[in-house]
Amino acid sequence: MANRTIFIYIYFFDNVDDIDPENMWFKQEGATCQTAKEIINHWLESENPFNPEKVEKILKEILEEAMENMTYNSEKCAAQAKWASDQIKSDVKKLEFDRYKIIVLVTFGEKNQQDVFVSMNFLWDAEKDKYAKYTAENNTVYGIALCFGLYYE
C-alpha cells in the first residue's frame, strides 16, 4: 500500500448550466478516457430492459391456468386474482429486468351481457416505461392481467 498513491480529484463548478458534458473528460490511470456523457449514459441505461413480449407469455400462461374450470364466485375470484398476481410478479422478477419496478394487476369479473372498459392514468416515460397485458374469458368469467415495468434510476 505504501507504494500506491491514490489521487482523488473533486471538481467544483460555479455554474452547472455552463458545463458541456461532451467536452468534460474524466481520467483514470490505466483506463481510456471517456466523456461525461458516456459515463452518464452507462449509469442510466438498463442492461436488461423490460420486455413486454416475454411478460405477455407469463401473463397468458398464468391467467389461463387461473381461469381453468372457473365459475364466477366473488370470494373465489378475489382469492384467485391474488394468487395470479403474486405468481406473475414472482415469475417476472425471475427475468431480472434491470432498474424496473414491477406492478401487477389481475381482475376477474362475471360475464353477464355487459361490456367492460378499463382506463388508467400515469405519469409515464414513453421511452423507458413499458407494460404487457393479456385478457381471457370463458363462459362465465373474464380475466384481465396487466404488468407494468416502471423504470427507476
Domain that holds residue 140: 52-151
110 located within any domain: yes
8 located within any domain: no
9 located within any domain: no
Q: Looking at the 3D structure of the chain, how many domains does it have?
A: 1
58 located within any domain: yes
12 located within any domain: no
Which pLDDT score is estimated for 6? Answer: 38
115 located within any domain: yes
Beta bridge partners of 135: 144
27: three-class secondary structure by DSSP: coil
Q: Where are the alpha helices (DSSP H) in the chain?
A: 36-44, 52-67, 74-94
* Tens digits of residue pLDDT in 17-32: 565 655 555 555 555 5
| Summary count for the chain: helices (H), strands (E) | 3, 5
* Tens digits of residue pLDDT in 38-96: 555 556 678 899 999 999 999 999 999 999 999 999 999 999 999 999 999 999 999 99
5 located within any domain: no
40 located within any domain: no
Which pLDDT score is estimated for 119? Answer: 84
Which triple of cell numbers denotes residue 54?
Answer: 416475454
Which pLDDT score is estimated for 82? Answer: 97
Q: List the one residue out of 60, 64, 21 whose CA is nearest residue 44.
A: 21
More confident residue, 102 or 6: 102
Is it the case that residue 8 has pLDDT exceeding 60? no
Which triple of cell numbers denotes residue 15?
Answer: 455554474
CATH of the domain at 133: 3.30.1140.40
109: three-class secondary structure by DSSP: strand
